Structure 1
Amino acid sequence: MPKLCFVFNGFFYGGAERQLIYICNGLAERGLDVTILCLKRGEAYKDLLSSNVKVVEPHYNYSFIKTLRYFSDIIKKENPEMVISFLFQATLISRIFKLFYRYRHITSYRNTTYGSFLRDKLMLCTSFLDNYTTGNSNNARIKLTFRSRWDKFVSIPNISKVAYARSSDEIERSDFYFIGRLEKQKNVINLIYAFDNFKKANPSDKKLFIIGDGSLRGELEKLSEDLDSCDNIIFLGIKKDINEYLVKAEAIILPSLWEGMPNVLIEAMLLKTPVIATPVGSIPEMVDHLQSGIIINSTSKDEICRSLEYFLNLDKESKIKIAENAYESAKEKYSKESVINQWLALIAKS
């Protein structure tokens, strides 16, 4: 097997960053020589990293030009046979430098869009530089890879680290939860409007807990205050162990505008916590509507509210069935052993 160098922006909070660590740990456990090259300094999730994985990161955060020089210097020093890139900046740099250093290259798409037309076009137009491309959603193949290279696209799901599931008789308890970054992509503004409307139409003691942080947190907290919903919508910030909260939730709400394969959805399914989510990214491939979760018709606040009301009116047996179906669907598909085997097969043929 080749010497591997995984490249990403750095150790920051996010699903892609956690998945990279899980994959690197799994490959190192199988005896591969794995290095992580960070473009920026960060501290998130380092405690999850295996001691068998080497980490290279800058002394401080460089300008873009200095980052290019830093990347070139590390590639010369480490001399990897294969580079695997995650996220936009790391992928663009890794693809361009492949022209000079001739390493084999795999891009791992973690979303079906990079958030803007220009970024998506840059990813599409440079995709020919990959030996293979992988993603956790088949939609990424269509949007971010040339049709002539679809045979070089391999779909590999995320790894779940959930090791236990709660019993089905705990399904109907507590409140609704959102877990994720507080950014435009996650559509939390429409969730807040929807939950406010839901509470007005369905008086109850149910609350919405929002776990996560991001650039929109202040704006979202102010919106909650303006709607006089502070008692019902509670911001908890970043929490290290989200499983502690997943097991308390009556349901997880994921109202995203776009996604790849959301880790929180997998973890909820494996903890038998029902999921209410929009039909973006891999979600329609992961959730069978009314069988293993609730698919919201659109990302609008009205449709989010309707889905909350629909779930509220389900009887306990229906909620238990949805949760059990989700668990059975997820427990084999997202196991560490299965996903690492798929990565090993991809690396071998690249």
Structure 2
Amino acid sequence: MENLKSKKIPTVLFVFHNSDYYSGATRSLIDIIESYLDKKTVNIVTLFPKTEGTAIDYLLRKDIKVINCFYTELVASINQPLIKKIVAFPYRFARMLISIISIYRLKSLISDLKFDAVYTNTSVIFVGGFLNKFFKIPHIWHFREFRREDQQIDFFFGEKYFYKFANKYANKIIVLSKSMFQKNQLYIKPEKLQVIYNDISPSYINPKKKFNLSKSNIQLLIAGTLSEGKGQLEALKALKILLDGGYEITLNIAGNTDCEYYKILEDYVFDNNMSENVIFHGLRKDMNELRKSMDIGLVTSKSEAFGRVTVEGMLSSLAMIGQNSAGTSELIKNNETGLLYEPGNIEALAENIKYLYESRSEMERISVNGYNYAVDNFTKGKCSNTVLELVLEALNEPNYI
């Protein structure tokens, strides 16, 4: 057996797009980093655009090196009026230039720390690309969003330039699902693209010890950012159909309510006299605990790039119902690991909820199937192992582990 002590451990700079531990993309990267900590396979350094934040606090407690540098996301809402886009362009362009200068000024630090590779989390920041351009550091770029389809955002200087930049300054580009691959293969060289489903930390394994199949009031949960693209209003409309039919159901909505979309949801609940059947939990930091009292999880997103909340729900033994679209349709096998409905078909969503309400044994069967599927496929470090393989491939050095 080859002596592992003779092998070198790569030093990788992991670039975050924000410092919020509860952001889905940030949590997903932290799950990867924790896998490397456990296995001691990577020397980890992290880069943030801010000096404070819950993710930074968490990593510092783990004794991980954190450095800071100003850089900005290079996206804007596609729904802005043209005049607002024109007025905002000089400001956004100036921030981009300042970001580039800030990144270049990392030169001495990069020389001291001797990074073997850089990994960029999400497609909305260009840091890793510029580090590759300036200092020839191998770059692995992880695209975690559709942008236009799921978040109604896109690059303010145009997609054409973005894809040209990505093709030139990334050694490998990771996408979260086959749906994302199909979109990006139109613009990215096929040999650069690789599909890797997310890892989810084993800390989310939260199985039900016993199913209460006789309870009268079924608890639904929809978790994630409150936005039109996530479809919370669609869930409320399906709930209204069921309440009008006499079903005892409560919809729990977990997500930050500090947004304009919350007012739209709140008004709908009030106008339809649903206040006793809808609970807004706000941003919850104890989702495992909340999920313990839930029965069914809903994923009503229009274009989920992966669907982290789908897997998290499965790991808490929730029977998941999701739109038959994008990443969600790759995670849920209809009538086995969950139920699917066609996008925008609110009646079909209501029928799926009704089916599980009336067939409690089916709700348990689907919950158990989903749990087993999620544990087997998303909690065993497959993503982190493949990312490390891509880093080593980019280094093209036989002396690394």
- Structure 1 residues 191 and 38, CA, compared in 2 at 3 Å: closer, same or farther? same
User: Which one is further off, 30-39 or 268-277?
Assistant: 30-39
Counterpart secondary structure, 1:66: helix
- Structure 1 residues 59 and 69, CA, compared in 2 at 3 Å: closer, same or farther? closer
User: Which one is further off, 214-223 or 98-107?
Assistant: 214-223
Does the CA-based 8 Å contact 1:293-1:326 persist in structure 2? yes
Q: What does residue 239 of structure 1 align with?
A: 284
The match for 2:248 among 205, 215, 223 is 205
Q: What does residue 167 of structure 1 align with?
A: 209
Q: What does residue 327 of structure 2 align with?
A: 282
Q: What does residue 218 of structure 1 align with?
A: 263
Structure 2: unaligned runs, 5 residues or longer: 1-8, 73-93, 395-401
Deviation per residue, 1:134-180 (Å, 9 max, x gap): 12212212212447722332222222222341135346754101111
Counterpart secondary structure, 2:344: coil
- Structure 1 residues 317 and 135, CA, compared in 2 at 3 Å: closer, same or farther? same
- Structure 1 residues 117 and 349, CA, compared in 2 at 3 Å: closer, same or farther? same
Q: What does residue 43 of structure 1 align with?
A: 53
Counterpart secondary structure, 2:392: helix
Counterpart secondary structure, 1:207: strand
Superposition deviation, residue 72 in structure 1: 2.2
* Alignment partners' CA distance in 2, 1:137 and 1:75: 35
* Alignment partners' CA distance in 2, 1:299 and 1:74: 47
Q: What does residue 297 of structure 2 align with?
A: 252
Asked if 1:189 corresponds to 2:229, the answer is: no
Counterpart secondary structure, 1:158: coil
- Structure 1 residues 297 and 41, CA, compared in 2 at 3 Å: closer, same or farther? farther
User: Which one is further off, 47-56 or 279-288?
Assistant: 47-56
Does the CA-based 8 Å contact 1:112-1:281 persist in structure 2? no
User: Which one is further off, 172-181 or 101-110?
Assistant: 172-181
Does the CA-based 8 Å contact 1:86-1:110 persist in structure 2? yes
One-letter amino acid of the structure 2 residue matched with residue 156 of structure 1: I
- Structure 1 residues 60 and 140, CA, compared in 2 at 3 Å: closer, same or farther? closer
Q: How many matched pairs?
A: 347
Deviation per residue, 1:170-200 (Å, 9 max, x gap): 4675410111110222111222222122211
* Alignment partners' CA distance in 1, 2:213 and 2:103: 48
Q: What does residue 11 of structure 1 align with?
A: 19
Superposition deviation, residue 76 in structure 1: 4.4
The match for 1:121 among 154, 159, 163 is 159
- Structure 1 residues 89 and 164, CA, compared in 2 at 3 Å: closer, same or farther? closer
Does the CA-based 8 Å contact 1:37-1:57 persist in structure 2? yes
* Alignment partners' CA distance in 1, 2:304 and 2:199: 16
Superposition deviation, residue 58 in structure 1: 4.7
* Alignment partners' CA distance in 1, 2:30 and 2:234: 32
Does the CA-based 8 Å contact 2:69-2:103 persist in structure 1? no
Does the CA-based 8 Å contact 1:9-1:40 persist in structure 2? no
One-letter amino acid of the structure 1 residue matched with residue 106 of structure 2: I
TM-score using structure 1 length: 0.89
Superposition deviation, residue 323 in structure 1: 1.3
Superposition deviation, residue 208 in structure 1: 0.4
Q: What does residue 131 of structure 1 align with?
A: 171
Q: What does residue 106 of structure 1 align with?
A: 140
Asked if 1:24 corresponds to 2:33, the answer is: yes
* Alignment partners' CA distance in 2, 1:75 and 1:225: 56
- Structure 1 residues 9 and 339, CA, compared in 2 at 3 Å: closer, same or farther? closer
The match for 1:95 among 122, 129, 139 is 129
* Alignment partners' CA distance in 2, 1:96 and 1:116: 25
Structure 1: unaligned runs, 5 residues or longer: none
Superposition deviation, residue 322 in structure 1: 0.9
The match for 2:102 among 31, 56, 70 is 70
Superposition deviation, residue 41 in structure 1: 4.8
Does the CA-based 8 Å contact 1:168-1:324 persist in structure 2? no
RMSD: 2.6
One-letter amino acid of the structure 1 residue matched with residue 120 of structure 2: S
The structure having more radius of gyration, on CA atoms, is 2
* Alignment partners' CA distance in 2, 1:168 and 1:270: 14
